[in-house]
Chain A
């Protein structure tokens, strides 16, 4: 596996990653006002990473406003399809292999950054009871930037949300196949089946399998977020790695360890959560996963900077320790 961080172009951040021995980065992209991810900015960004000795392997994520009409089934969705396909062609030309997207109509849900962690560390938290009292504010990771991408004006069933996704995939996956780009669906975080009357479909293993099966292709798969999948009701992450990795449908992974499952969980340090991370890395090895695994959200620690370098350093060291120890001491 290739360990990565979400990278900015700040020279200090790139040097920080070099010092930790990282060679792979993940980044988001901006779309033009017309909703197309343009080639030239990606080429410039890729070149900047290359100068630092790093490979940009994954786009995370396709901007939601490139496909919001598709998610909500609104007029104008076919025009968005064309632009997403053009974006995929540009991504291929830029040499980036994986495009992750989030079919989360209401974004990522959190209700608190709670200073109740180890040594007073701040843990991102989701608690459905709290979310019911502040549904709009809990959207988009509690960033306070407003509802993401917008509030629903009617109820939508899980079937309707799935139908919209299948409509999307049937039209973009053939383009992705032709261009050699893998499209990876991030599961719904928090994995609750409904929020504000709107269905969320990637909330359990069956839902993830439906997305894979809807358009069978070696280019249609998952952004396997260990943290999100670990918070799905009664889901075992190690078994899920074996299931979806065994189908070669894990295109990209997030490394994160939660404590608890829906309706309430905390994102804790990787060494203290509910997932057996040793077994998880072994399972990734067993299924031959050789893609990018990005260190995901992390607890807030004392005196950290805006990029959370200290907390990320702990997590990078932790994942490297797992990989090296398993490699050097055997086991698989």
Chain B
């Protein structure tokens, strides 16, 4: 398992910061899939001596299915092997109701758009396969509740622990069911349907990570957008540092315990 951070394309200090914190890899967030953007993203990561785990695109990019498919081909051409798209639906604005009045967002309920997802997977899936790209989808709580259907539709899953927790789905069981379809995991936590810090919520990160290790998961476990902390940046330097430190420690305990 790789411990990863998500970085914004063009924000190069985030690459330096990721390296300093000891991230094994990064996932670059891009707002389009044109070839120059993807090539630049790849080059910047490699020249920072980091590993590019994949790229992340917002929902708007996916809506143009023809353009997205073309982007998958570009990704394959420049050697990007994993593309994740966001299917959670609308997210709520953060509010200062977290620990220490940290900014946290409520988990938004949205009806699963099964027909759109199925069409997307049917069209983009083969394109991605032909391009040598693994296509993962970050599903919302509504879809995660129907695990069998979801895993039947998706080429690969980007499992968001916040959405899983919100859906009342056991992440440990879901990891077992997903098997090789699990491509990425978002590390996050929740408490009473609100985002929480990794160490305080209803999800046991140690138990989830233990399940990932036991399942032989070798992909990126990435710290999600953290709660907003005092005097922090929009990207969340302090929160991401806290998260990566937490994840690294948990992984070391698991590895050194042989569990």
Give the B-binding residues of A (Cβ under 8 A): 12, 15-21, 117-121, 269-272, 276-279, 299, 301-303, 305, 309-311, 313-322, 324-326, 328-329, 331
Report the bound CA distance from A319 to B238 in whole Å.
15
Q: Which of B16-24, B87-95, B114-122, B171-179 lies at the interface?
A: B16-24
Contact partner of A310 (CB less than 8 A), chosen from B102, B241, B248, is: B241
The answer on a CB contact under 8 Å between B250 and A314 is no
Chain B positions within 8 Å of A18 at CB level: 99-101
Report the bound CA distance from A314 to B200 in whole Å.
16
The answer on a CB contact under 8 Å between A271 and B249 is yes
The answer on a CB contact under 8 Å between B241 and A313 is yes
Chain A positions within 8 Å of B19 at CB level: 118-120
Chain B positions within 8 Å of A272 at CB level: 22
Contact partner of B101 (CB less than 8 A), chosen from A15, A276, A301, is: A15
The answer on a CB contact under 8 Å between A19 and B100 is yes
How many Å from the CB of B176 to the closest CB on chain A?
Answer: 18
Contact partner of A322 (CB less than 8 A), chosen from B21, B197, B198, B253, is: B253
Chain A residue with minimal CB distance to B197?
A21
The answer on a CB contact under 8 Å between B249 and A313 is no
Chain B positions within 8 Å of A118 at CB level: 19-22
Contact partner of A309 (CB less than 8 A), chosen from B21, B102, B238, is: B238
How many Å from the CB of A183 to the closest CB on chain B?
Answer: 32
Overall SS of chain B's interface? helix
Contacts known (A302-B20, A328-B204); A19 close to B99, Cβ less than 8 A:
yes
Within 8 A of A (CB), among B80-109: 98-102
- Other A-B pairs, 8, CB within 8 Å; known A19-B98, A326-B253, A328-B207: A18-B101, A20-B197, A269-B22, A317-B244, A319-B245, A320-B249, A321-B198, A322-B249
The answer on a CB contact under 8 Å between A329 and B254 is yes
Is B32's beta carbon under 8 Å from chain A?
no
Jot down 14 A-B pairs with beta carbons below 8 A, ordered by A: A16-B100, A16-B231, A19-B98, A19-B100, A19-B229, A269-B22, A271-B249, A303-B13, A310-B17, A320-B249, A326-B253, A329-B207, A329-B253, A331-B253
Produce 1/0 per residue, B165-209, CB < 8 A to A.
000000000000000000000000000000001111000111100
The answer on a CB contact under 8 Å between A325 and B254 is yes
Report the bound CA distance from A279 to B252 in whole Å.
10
Produce 1/0 per residue, B100-139, CB < 8 A to A.
1110000000000000000000000000000000000000
Which of A17, A270, A318, A326 has its CB near the most chain B CB atoms (within 10 A)?
A318
Which of A271, A277, A313, A331 has its CB near the most chain B CB atoms (within 10 A)?
A313
Report the bound CA distance from A286 to B99 in whole Å.
30
Contact partner of A313 (CB less than 8 A), chosen from B242, B257, B259, is: B242
Within 8 A of A (CB), among B220-259: 227, 229-231, 237-239, 241-250, 252-254, 256-257, 259
How many Å from the CB of A49 to the closest CB on chain B?
Answer: 14
The answer on a CB contact under 8 Å between A119 and B245 is no
The answer on a CB contact under 8 Å between B99 and A117 is no
The answer on a CB contact under 8 Å between B22 and A321 is no
Report the bound CA distance from A320 to B205 in whole Å.
12
The answer on a CB contact under 8 Å between B253 and A325 is yes
The answer on a CB contact under 8 Å between A278 and B22 is no
Chain A positions within 8 Å of B245 at CB level: 270-271, 313-321
Which of A19, A320, A324 has its CB near the most chain B CB atoms (within 10 A)?
A19
How many Å from the CB of A20 to the closest CB on chain B?
Answer: 6
The answer on a CB contact under 8 Å between A302 and B249 is no
Report the bound CA distance from A313 to B254 in whole Å.
22
How many Å from the CB of A279 to the closest CB on chain B?
Answer: 8
Chain A positions within 8 Å of B37 at CB level: none
How many Å from the CB of A23 to the closest CB on chain B?
Answer: 11
The answer on a CB contact under 8 Å between B17 and A309 is no
Chain A positions within 8 Å of B197 at CB level: 19-21
Contacts known (A119-B19, A325-B206); A311 close to B241, Cβ less than 8 A:
yes
Contact partner of A331 (CB less than 8 A), chosen from B227, B252, B257, is: B257
Chain B residue with minimal CB distance to A322?
B249
Contacts known (A309-B238, A325-B254, A331-B257); A301 close to B20, Cβ less than 8 A:
yes
